[in-house]
Structure 1
């Protein structure tokens, strides 16, 4: 094991003791059995371990700090949920340590380890590799090492781990969108943006296909436009849809970013929203309010979402019995971007 990578938690794990026991050995505390002291001191000598200042002060007391590991705070969805978490944490007497992964797995690992070493009382992960359809086994092992000591909560999934999950009900989200669009007479409905390797997008795609059948709508493969989650992807995918011989009368965008890109493409082609084509999206961020027209979008009630994440973390810290998996129930905020279907 590389000396530079050794932490007080590694010593504790290999010795089969708690991090607090390692701390007591380091501070010459007498309240450690001879066998445990010998095991810990042997590993300290073996790895030439030098604890940092934070590790030296480690004890059984809590830090009242929650680690918040976020995919990218520049995305308004993550920004809104992060702010909601921080506000809820402050109300509970906790401080938030925020780190961004920025689509960099090494940075994600590093930030997670920093939180661990800084003795956060729990880690809440929003996005990042917890969103992957197929979980990264090495990352799951990293999370497992941490979750043995402190609670780990995610808004995604990590197969092979014992973390707490608070997930958006994507099935309910897509169902309410279809109920709304079909009530407006739409039968040619497209789904735009997102990547199938992401769990939430995969679930949306599967539910879309199921609902097309349920409502006896004709499925067109060209109506499923895979991209990513950016405005550029929304723009490109919308252009492709508008070039079809029979373009859709309604488009479901995977998030507000892609919806904004779709609006831009429609405007450039002289297609009026919602007169000529309806657009609906997910996330209900500030973008849905400032776009023209204002977007109808699926809302997750960020304040309540953040409150529940913090409540799960605090209850787990206090060793209260809580469900391992819970769901966030979405609502549909209706604005100006959808209207009755106009056959073309």
Structure 2
């Protein structure tokens, strides 16, 4: 291993500890178990690792700034999360810097570098590359390069990345909706929108199939409908494609998110169908869209205030080398409104 390739991250990986632990050994400003300390010190001697003194000095000074990168603030899920993160950051004396990646891998990498250049104390990423089912190895390398000096939190997964995860329990959220629909007499249930290469969508689809089998209901693959995106137009297009293929109309449709649900409702109405008299429609996220849609959407949602607070508090613990849990899960709740009919 060449000397110039050695970093805190490579030392941490070989020692089987976190980069924060290596940092604590180097600075001596917090307790580390003797076993971990011995492993790290042995590797430091082995590679004659000498972190840049200026960088070490700068990293010990908080800027009281946290970088937040979301996929697209126009989506109400990201907008709500950004607001709650900002509130929680402000309550703890931190300034939140917000960036939108807008589906661009290049922008995600650029923002990581810019956040690092601004010397933010931590980085939170919601959406984008962290939602992909198969992790992009080049992006993981970029994450790890920044994570050498700055804690990173994500609301998804990046295999091989040194970051903390605060994730929605997608399986539990689907279970809530499926149980509600089945208990209300629905068996012909479609799941519409999203793509299999997005982990959260795949997790929902797996639990959807599992719940059907649990209740002895046949799985109809034509009732699992892909969407090109997660917006209103994608929902409308998916609904129209399903209608053109002349499948039997389900009694209930689960939309992958509130935006998709709005598109589905629009397409059904344009075809002369009523919600929920002819077809029930439910969705995920419980953003303001669910409350303003007509009829108001029954959906599964999250405690956004708690979600934002958990992200910020985890970031602050990581900033202060307190080693928060590497993976934490956020539970969902069912909100019953007007878009679902009880069948006899």
Q: Same fold (TM over 0.5)?
A: yes
CA contact (8 A) 2:176 2:334 kept: yes
Instruction: Please name the residue that 1:234 is paired with.
Output: 235
In the alignment, which residue of structure 2 is the partner of 1:28? Answer: none
TM-aligned CA distance change 1:286 to 1:126, over 3 Å: same
Q: Which residue in 2 is equivalent to 1:205?
A: 205
Within the candidate set 320, 336, 339, 2:338 is matched to: 336
Quote the RMSD (CA, aligned, Å).
2.7
1:145 maps to 2:141: no
Query: Which among 305, 308, 322 is matched to residue 306 of structure 1?
Result: 308
Matched position secondary structure for 1:129: helix
Where 1:270 maps in the other structure, the secondary structure is coil
Q: Distance in 2 between matches of 1:59 and 1:217?
A: 56
Say whether 1:220 aligns with 2:220.
yes
Q: Is the 8 A contact 1:188 1:218 kept in 2?
A: no
Please give the TM-score of this superposition, normalised by the length of structure 2. Answer: 0.83
Q: Deviations over 1:180-203 (max 9, x none)?
A: 000110010000000110000011
Aligned match for 1:270, one of 266, 269, 272: 272
Distance 1:39-1:162 versus aligned 2 partners, 3 A rule = closer
Q: CA 1:75–1:325 in structure 2 vs 1: closer, same or farther (change >3 Å)?
A: same
Match of 1:44 in 2: none
Specify whether residues 246 and 95 from structure 1 end up closer, same or farther in structure 2 by C-alpha distance, changes over 3 A only: same
2:65 maps to what in 1?
65
Q: Can you give the 5+ residue segments of structure 1 that lack an aligned partner in the other structure?
A: 1-9, 22-35, 42-50
Question: Partners in 2 of 1:107 and 1:208 — Cα distance?
Answer: 34
4+ residue stretches of structure 1 with deviation over 4 A?
10-14, 38-41
Residue number in structure 2 paired with 1:112: 112
> Could you say which residue in structure 2 is the equivalent of 1:5?
none
Query: Deviation digits for residues 251-270 of structure 1, max 9, x if unmatched?
Result: 00000011000100111111
The structure with the largest alpha-carbon Rg is: 1
Matched ranges for 1:53-202 at <5 A: 58=58, 60-202=60-202
- The alignment's TM-score, normalised by the length of structure 1, stands at 0.83
Which moves more between the two structures, 309-318 or 241-250?
241-250
Aligned residues: 305
